[in-house]
């Protein structure tokens, strides 16, 4: 009888654990009660980047939506700009440009568009066909001075480990080469000592 109770208790624990594991997966695809597959650049998801900075006479905040932009999907850049001294919203057109960010890439700049302020926000949509690292540039002129704001944009998964992997691989190869040279030198010295002693 005792063996039967132990088996039934362990069986209950197993069933409880399995039901907890399976129920956790059921909630994984929902964000705030909405299915994740219905989210787009107009959804209330958090931005992938939100940066506040001061440039010249303006306080600028820019955001990139959605949180993880992917190739072929619509995204959006929002820029808020206001004067530092009186808080007035910037009201001149802003031109958005893009270029590849990388060591071995073509850095030709393309224009995404020129936007007017709407409700205190400049909104620029985008769709990138290929994954990669890009630099977005927002340009405007105010009070007779040009303003240029650059910020990074990652489309798809990052491949930033490539330079780090190359550096680490180079270090390992150098260390292995030095180790081999040291062993050869020590072997020559031992052979020389054996010849000199005989």
Which tens digits make up the pLDDT trace of 26-75?
A: 544 444 444 544 445 455 566 667 788 888 899 999 888 887 888 888 88
What's this model's pTM, rounded to 2 decimal places?
Answer: 0.57
Closest of 90, 70, 104, 63 to residue 145, by C-alpha: 90
pLDDT of residue 34: 47
Average confidence (pLDDT) over 168-192: 85
Alpha-carbon span 49 to 62, nearest angstrom: 8
Closest of 124, 116, 52, 53 to residue 89, by C-alpha: 116
Alpha-carbon span 50 to 110, nearest angstrom: 23
Tens digit of pLDDT for each residue in 111-158? 899 999 998 899 999 988 888 888 899 999 988 899 999 888 888 877
Residue 136's CB is within 10 A of a number of other CB atoms, namely 21
How many residues belong to the chain? 198
Question: Token pair for residue 127?
Answer: 């769709």
- Residue 96, pLDDT above cutoff 90: yes
Alpha-carbon span 101 to 95, nearest angstrom: 19
Residues facing 31 on adjacent strands: 34
H-type helices in the chain, by residue range?
A: 2-26, 161-197
Tens digit of pLDDT for each residue in 101-114? 766 666 678 889 99
Residue 58's CB is within 10 A of a number of other CB atoms, namely 21
Q: In what order do the strands lie in the sheet with 58-65?
A: 49-55, 58-65, 74-83, 122-127
Residue written as tokens 């994984």? 28
3-class secondary-structure state, position 172: helix
Average confidence (pLDDT) over 84-93: 91
């Amino acid at each position: 009888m005792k063996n039967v109770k132990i088996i039934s208790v362990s069986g209950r624990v197993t069933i409880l654990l399995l039901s907890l594991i399976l129920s956790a997966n059921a909630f994984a695809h929902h964000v705030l009660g909405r299915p994740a597959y219905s989210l787009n650049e107009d959804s209330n998801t958090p931005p992938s980047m939100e940066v506040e900075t001061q440039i010249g006479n303006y306080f600028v905040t820019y955001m990139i939506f959605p949180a993880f932009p992917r190739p072929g999907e619509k995204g959006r850049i929002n820029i808020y700009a206001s004067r530092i001294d009186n808080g007035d919203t910037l009201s001149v057109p802003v031109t958005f440009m893009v270029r590849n960010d990388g060591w071995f890439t073509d850095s030709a700049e393309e224009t995404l568009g020129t936007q007017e302020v709407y409700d205190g926000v400049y909104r620029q949509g985008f769709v990138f066909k290929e994954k990669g690292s890009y630099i977005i540039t927002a340009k405007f002129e105010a009070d007779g001075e040009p303003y240029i704001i650059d910020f990074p944009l990652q489309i798809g998964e990052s491949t930033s480990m490539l330079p780090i992997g190359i550096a680490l691989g180079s270090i390992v190869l150098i260390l292995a080469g030095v180790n081999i040279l040291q062993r050869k030198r020590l072997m020559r010295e031992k052979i020389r000592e054996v010849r000199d002693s005989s």
